């Protein structure tokens, strides 16, 4: 893997609080086959998210797809103090489309950072500060805290070339794609709304890899920190160099 340097553009500041939209569903038919980290549960992932959020720097909104059940029977019912929006979708793609409609309707400042996160992710403490650092880098349009392990071993990525950046506390690399857990500025999300919708419309599962490859062809820059500050909770694809299972235990 080669890391290329490029001449920087002026850094941009992060405006106000980060707006976190945590996606949940009572039943996830698309993830039942996945091999999970030891001790994994969606409730533990949510407890981890809550414990690592600095409320002085971020707001949290919960989005629950209650198509296959009732809120009162799900663990989120115990968190009545949190802002929760219940939807009826039944598929990952439709729930994402409904979330996009909701976010697009909000009166947010164009430079507000939007973080959409699925319910099977873990986060390291300090991830909000790290996200702010990432968006202070020049030319960054999209950011994932997940350092995809597959980029290091899949044959399709054997000739992957990334650009390397540095912020005060981390290195960052450009990456061609990520999952439907990602962050971007409100302005950027609105500008790319048609692309995000295109790769979820008329599908049961969002074509996230194809979507971010399309955004890359448009000139959008997606970065991730090295090591990662979050992980998707699949054993085979967990962000390297972090004891995620130890984080689940505590």
What digits encode the pLDDT tens for the residues 163-207? 999 999 999 999 999 999 999 999 999 999 999 999 999 999 999
* Nearest by Cα to 149 from 44, 249, 209, 227: 227
Within the chain, strands assigned E span 2-4, 15-25, 58-65, 83-87, 112-117, 121-123, 142-143, 161-167, 170-174, 182-185, 222-226, 230-232
pLDDT of 112: 97
Q: Which residues of the chain register pLDDT less than 70? A: 1-13, 29-32, 250
What is the per-residue pLDDT across 138-167, written as a single tens digit (0 to 9) for each?
A: 999 999 999 999 889 888 888 889 999 999
Confidence (pLDDT) at 14: 74
Cis, bond preceding 227 (omega within 30 deg of 0): yes
Q: 185 lies in a domain? A: yes
Residue 10: inside a domain, yes or no?
no
Give 171's contacts (C-beta < 8 A, 6+ positions apart).
164, 165, 225, 226
Instruction: Work out the mean pLDDT of the chain and round it to a whole number.
Output: 92
d(CA 200, CA 222): 19
107-138 burial string, b = 16+ CB within 10 Å, else e?
Answer: ebeeebbbbbbbbbbbbbeebbbbbbbbbebe
3-state secondary structure of 137: coil
- For residue 99, the model assigns a pLDDT of 98
At 120 the pLDDT is: 96
What pLDDT score was predicted for residue 34? 81
Q: Domain range spanning residue 31?
A: 15-249
Q: Please state the domain count of the chain.
A: 1
128, part of any domain: yes
pTM summary value: 0.93
Q: What pLDDT is attached to residue 157?
A: 87
Query: DSSP 3-state assignment of 197?
Result: helix
Q: Where are the alpha helices (DSSP H) in the chain?
A: 42-52, 92-104, 127-136, 186-191, 193-198, 208-217, 244-249
The CATH number of residue 167's host domain is 3.90.550.10
Asked if residue 84 is part of any domain, the answer here is yes
Task: State the residue for tokens 């074509």.
Answer: 207
**Residue 216: Cβ within 10 Å count:** 17
**Cross-strand partners of 163:** 4
- Answer yes or no: is 238 within a domain: yes
Count the neighbouring beta carbons within 10 Å of the beta carbon of residue 62: 18
């Amino acid at each position: 893997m080669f890391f290329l340097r490029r001449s920087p553009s002026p850094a941009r500041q992060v405006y106000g609080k980060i707006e976190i939209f945590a996606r949940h569903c009572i039943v996830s038919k698309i993830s039942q086959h996945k091999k999970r980290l030891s001790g994994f549960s969606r409730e533990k992932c949510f407890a981890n998210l809550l414990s690592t959020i600095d409320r002085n720097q971020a707001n949290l909104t919960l989005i629950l797809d209650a198509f296959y059940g009732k809120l009162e029977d799900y663990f989120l019912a115990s968190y009545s103090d949190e802002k929760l929006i219940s939807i009826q979708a039944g598929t990952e793609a439709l729930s994402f489309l409904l979330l996009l409609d909701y976010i697009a309707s909000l009166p947010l400042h164009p430079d507000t950072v939007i973080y959409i996160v699925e319910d099977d992710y873990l986060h390291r403490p300090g991830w909000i500060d790290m996200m702010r650092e990432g968006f202070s880098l020049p030319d960054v349009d999209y950011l994932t805290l997940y350092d995809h392990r597959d980029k290091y071993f899949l044959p399709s990525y054997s000739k992957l070339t990334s650009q390397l950046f540095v912020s005060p506390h981390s290195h960052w690399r450009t990456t061609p794609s990520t999952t439907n857990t990602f962050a971007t500025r409100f302005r950027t999300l609105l500008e790319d709304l048609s692309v995000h919708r295109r790769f979820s419309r008329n599908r049961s599962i969002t074509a996230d890899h194809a979507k971010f490859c399309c955004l890359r062809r448009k000139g959008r820059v997606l970065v991730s920190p090295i090591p990662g500050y979050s992980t998707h909770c699949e054993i085979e694809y967990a962000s390297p160099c972090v004891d995620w299972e130890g984080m689940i235990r505590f």
